[in-house]
Amino acid sequence: METLDKAHTIQEGVKKFLNGIVDLHFREDTPGGCLVVLSVLEREQHEAETVMMLEHIVEHMQKTLQSRIKQAQDAGQLSGEIKARRVSTSIVAAATGIMVMGKAGFSRTSLRTVSDTICSLLSPEQT
């Protein structure tokens, strides 16, 4: 979630976060994407301790995004009307969906389109 901390705006941070997941899927040294996300998708195959750890990672992503959205609202980058928890949960769902789509053979361009669409929902014109 360091990407969000380094970004100047929430929109930039979310775009880099989601595009980083797309890029991770297509990198030669990480074929098939992020092991954590893939493990979450197959959680019934893991021991209880591993499942709890995976759930904690996903929950941390959601809470970090929620916090950054609230910060963006406080800074006037986003409308206070946006429900930070709902939007952050949707971003995490999109991140997971990008990984699933990657495994299903969707192109990098298609996955970037998902990322761009999610980011457009955070644009000041939409808020």
Here the tokens at position 11 are 């929109």
pLDDT tens digits, 15-59: 999 999 898 888 777 666 556 556 666 656 656 776 677 778 889
Q: 61 or 45: whose pLDDT is higher?
A: 61
Domains and CATH numbers, the chain: 2-126 (1.10.357.10)
- Check: pTM over 0.85? Answer yes or no: no
pLDDT tens digits, 106-125: 999 999 999 999 998 887 65
